[in-house]
Every structure is written in C-alpha cells, then in structure tokens.
Amino acid sequence: MRDWMKRIPPEDLRTYRKGGFLSDMQPGRRAALIVVDVTMGFCGAEDLTLEQAIDQYPTACGPSSWVAMPKIAALIDLFRARDLPIVYSLADMYDPRWTGNATKSNATLRRPGFNDFPPSIAPREKDWVMSKEKASAFFHTPLTIHLTREGVDTLFFCGVSTSGCVRATVVDGFSNGYRTFVVDECCFDRSEFAHAANLFDLNAKYAAVISLDEARAIMEGRQLAAAE
C-alpha cells in the first residue's frame, strides 16, 4: 500500500467502494502533461525546513518539494522522449485589487524569484508556460484551446499543491471531458494530511491516482496496474 493510502481510515475505503467509487480509468489516444505551479515560490530553496521555506515564500511547501522534484523530472522526461505536449502553469503576478487572490490567503506572491522554475524541471522551448490567476489552470485560460489543437484526450498531472491548484486543475480537466491521471509521487503539499486526503478523494471521483512506474507503463503501452 502506498504511503499516502496508509493515512486513509479503512472504514472510509470500505464506504467509498460500497458506493461505487474508486473505479478504474483507461487512457485515450494522445496524452499531455500538466505541470502545476512547480516554481520556487511554492517550493522554497532546497535544504530549508518547512518553517524556513515559509519565511522565504509564505506559499512554499519546503522539503516535500525536493523529495518530489527528481520524480517530476523523470515524468517530464517520459513525455519529452515521446514528443508529447507539456504545459507548465505558474501564478500570474497580477494586482489582486482587480481580480482577488487565488485563495483567501493574504500572502503576497510578489517576491523576487517567485516564478523561477527549479533547474531540474525547467521548461524548454517546445513547452508552453502559461500564467493563471486562480487555482485551476483551466479557469479563464486558453488551455482547452491548446489541448484541442494538439488532439489531446488524456491528461497527466503533477505539481503543487495537491490540495489546492493540482486538485482544482484535475477536477476541471475531468469536467471538461479529459481522461485524468494524477501521478502521486510527483505531487506535493505543505500538509501530508491534505496531500493524502486529496489524493484519496481525487482517486475516488475525478481521476486515476497512479505511481510513476504506472505512468511509465502507460507510456509504454502496457496495462495500468491496480491502485493498491
């Protein structure tokens, strides 16, 4: 059983299964990868504690960012090797007086280096870097236009935070008719509880939550393994 699933009460698993949730999902014909907000502002510098990272950037997730980073890099490489679309989202450095914050937090995003990408996962020329003003990468953005032009019917997601922008983007992706896959080791959050609870709920209702190895198997055309 995966680490995040160990945090889910067994009675909740039984209840969801009895209700018909936690069903399988199969990929379609062409996939894209959505890398949600993996910037220094949501990570903090490497080797900082969570508290120190939050002092640097109030929205940072600290050590969990850097545990996930090499796995995110490996997932990106899977898509690059197959010349499949990759979209990076980042926070628009807008003036919240006009549109409001992406959350009800009053934390400012306007700090030097906030939207810098860690070098190991930095976008390349063929990747689309797309700014967004709210949690979901679909909300009032041209993302669906791009995916339609690319002939995409399947989306893989990674990034931060699992409970915030990743969740919002996945739910909107599913609502827009895409087959949705969340790669669990490639997502992170400042709260391990929130990370686990949201992966569980996404897996129950809006996506298949899979491992990096399972993502690799899908890319290689093999059958998706069981979720547990």
List, for residues 117-134, the tens digit of each pLDDT value. Answer: 999 999 999 999 999 999
In sequence order, the 6+-apart residues with CB closer than 8 A to the CB of 61 are 42, 43, 44, 50, 53, 160, 161, 188, 189, 190
Please state, in angstroms and rounded to a whole number, the distance separating the CA atoms of residues 173 and 161: 16
Q: What is the mean pLDDT of the chain?
A: 91
Please report, for residues 115, 177, 189, the alpha-carbon distance to residue 88 in angstroms, rounded to integers and kept in the order given. Answer: 11, 20, 18
To which CATH superfamily is domain 10-16+29-38+73-92+116-219 assigned? Isochorismatase-like (3.40.50.850)
List, for residues 202-222, the tens digit of each pLDDT value. Answer: 999 999 999 999 999 999 885
List, for residues 53-103, the tens digit of each pLDDT value. Answer: 999 999 999 999 999 999 999 999 999 999 999 999 998 866 666 676 766
Which segments of 9-102 does DSSP mark as H helices, in order? 10-18, 40-43, 50-56, 63-81, 96-99
Please state, in angstroms and rounded to a whole number, the distance separating the CA atoms of residues 43 and 133: 19
